[in-house]
């Protein structure tokens, strides 16, 4: 892995002569506490583009810069955790199950918190593709679109992964309970007119963006064989993942047809690979189970997924240095319109609750951050601003 990341750093530096800078904007307000959830704010219409990152003509990496980034410490490493479909009520139900709502989840205790507007380009309820594209590129798009300017001219939008590579950093995309080519990781590592173009997304990973770490479920085009043909060291089980180790000379692709290894184990393996890069890294870690549980109106499934995400966050906290690593935990959208009714929660029991839909909702979602740059998280803001947080690195 050390040999591979060195080659990637030299290649990226040769390709990029642009200075990539970032602007942060958004409304200010009281930072919500974990139990508050995300209430509506006066931050403007959730469908507006006030917080989109504008283009200023730098070829391929046209990202803007703001004064705020010059006045605060910047991280070398960034880890973004996404609980797909995880809203404030999903977290509340998990706290109730875990400890009777007596203490926050690990990430709810992070020093900086806020909430995120998730609407798509038209101001409607987002899907995962549009929401992930907003975070990965700083632009709102139509549902189903993967990091292309739609509405607009359809051209590809530079992603966090591509910008990290241009800075000589390594990258990783990790998910569970879904194919690796699913919408959320796809928006960070590929470009496609539709999230259902499995072949284009897989090709984007293996032939174009080439993250140093890829982990998730299989699909028609994203197989262990395809990854091996593209020069990746592959694993299909926990034992194989452990056997590859951090000394691998090739990038790592884990294709796991099931829940094992756990998300925490995948996170550990990814970080052991990425921490070898002295120039830093970007890592996306997603749990799709929160969304699956919301669509199924299955709160027990949701709770299991949130607890698994928390365990992965704990792993990242243990392995990284708080002085140079920004860790953000959020969601792409809320799923299920969950409401928890239990006034006397009991640890170990699924609380009384109701769902309002089997689809996504337009509810704001919480965001939590710790590490250098985390102080930029506060109040409620558009999901496009997350891109600025992810790319404001040294």
* DSSP secondary structure code for residue 205 in this structure: I
pLDDT classification of 245: cutoffs 50, 70, 90 = confident
Q: Compute, in degrees rounded to 10, the torsion defined by CA atoms 122, 183, 226, 218.
A: -150
Look at residue 371 and tell me whether its pLDDT is greater than 50: yes
Say which range, 233-247, 299-313, 323-337, has the weakest mean pLDDT.
Answer: 233-247
Which SS3 state, helix, strand or coil, does residue 352 take?
A: coil
CA distance 79 to 374: 12
Look at residue 25 and tell me whether its pLDDT is greater than 90: no
Look at residue 249 and tell me whether its pLDDT is greater than 90: no
Q: What is the pLDDT of residues 252-288, one digit of tens each?
A: 999 999 899 999 999 999 999 999 999 999 999 999 9
Say which range, 136-140, 191-195, 240-244, 266-270, has the weakest mean pLDDT.
Answer: 240-244
DSSP β-bridge partners for residue 171: 282
Q: What is the pLDDT of residues 152-208, one digit of tens each?
A: 999 999 999 999 999 999 999 999 999 999 999 999 999 999 999 999 999 999 999
Look at residue 68 and tell me whether its pLDDT is greater than 70: no
Q: Which domain holds residue 381?
A: 2-391
Distances (CA, A) of 291 to 123, 206, 217, 237, 315: 21, 26, 16, 24, 22
Instruction: Give the sign of the dihedral formed by CA 194, CA 20, CA 379, CA 340.
Output: positive
CA distance 82 to 183: 12
**Residues 6+ positions from 123 with CB-CB distance below 8 Å:** 45, 46, 47, 48
Instruction: Give the sign of the dihedral formed by CA 107, CA 162, CA 227, CA 182.
Output: positive
CATH at 111: 3.40.720.10
Overall domain count for the chain: 1
Nearest to 387 by CA among 124, 48, 21, 87: 21
Say which range, 55-69, 91-105, 133-147, 365-379, has the weakest mean pLDDT.
Answer: 55-69
CA distance 384 to 382: 5
pLDDT at 74: 96
pLDDT classification of 10: cutoffs 50, 70, 90 = very low
Nearest to 217 by CA among 253, 268, 176: 176
């Amino acid at each position: 892995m050390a040999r591979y990341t060195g080659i990637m750093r030299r290649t990226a530096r040769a390709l990029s002569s642009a200075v990539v800078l970032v602007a942060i904007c958004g409304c200010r307000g009281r930072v919500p506490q974990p139990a508050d959830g995300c209430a509506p704010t006066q931050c403007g219409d959730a469908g507006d583009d006030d917080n989109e990152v504008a283009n200023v003509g730098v070829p391929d990496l046209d990202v803007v810069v703001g004064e705020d980034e010059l006045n605060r410490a910047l991280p070398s490493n960034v880890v973004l955790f996404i609980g797909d479909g995880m809203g404030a009520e999903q977290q509340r139900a998990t706290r109730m199950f875990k400890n009777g709502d007596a203490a926050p989840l690990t990430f709810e205790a992070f020093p900086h918190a806020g909430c995120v507007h998730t609407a798509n380009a038209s101001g409607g309820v987002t899907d995962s593709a549009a929401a992930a594209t907003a975070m990965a590129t700083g632009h709102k798009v139509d549902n189903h679109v993967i990091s292309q300017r739609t509405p607009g001219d359809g051209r590809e939008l530079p992603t966090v992964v591509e910008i990290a590579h241009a800075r000589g950093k390594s990258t990783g995309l990790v998910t569970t309970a879904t194919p690796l080519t699913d919408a959320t990781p796809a928006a960070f590592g590929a470009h496609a007119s539709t999230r259902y173009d499995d072949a284009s997304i897989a090709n984007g990973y293996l032939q174009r963006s080439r993250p140093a770490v890829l982990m998730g479920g299989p699909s028609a085009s994203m197989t262990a064989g395809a990854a091996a043909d593209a020069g990746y060291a592959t694993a299909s089980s926990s034992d194989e993942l452990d056997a590859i180790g951090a000394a691998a000379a090739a990038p790592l692709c884990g294709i796991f047809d099931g829940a094992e290894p756990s998300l925490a184990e995948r996170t550990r393996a990814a970080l052991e690979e990425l921490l070898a890069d002295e120039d830093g890294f970007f890592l996306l870690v997603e749990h799709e189970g929160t969304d699956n549980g919301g669509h199924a109106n299955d709160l027990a499934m949701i709770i299991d997924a949130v607890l698994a995400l928390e365990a992965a966050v704990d792993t990242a906290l243990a392995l990284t240095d708080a002085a140079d690593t920004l860790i953000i935990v959020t969601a792409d959208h809320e799923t299920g319109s969950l409401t928890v009714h239990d006034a006397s929660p009991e640890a170990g029991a699924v609380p009384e609750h109701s769902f309002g839909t089997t689809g996504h909702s337009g509810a704001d979602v919480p965001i939590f951050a710790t590490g250098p740059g985390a102080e930029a998280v506060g109040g409620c803001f558009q999901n496009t601003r997350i891109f600025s947080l992810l790319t404001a690195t040294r």
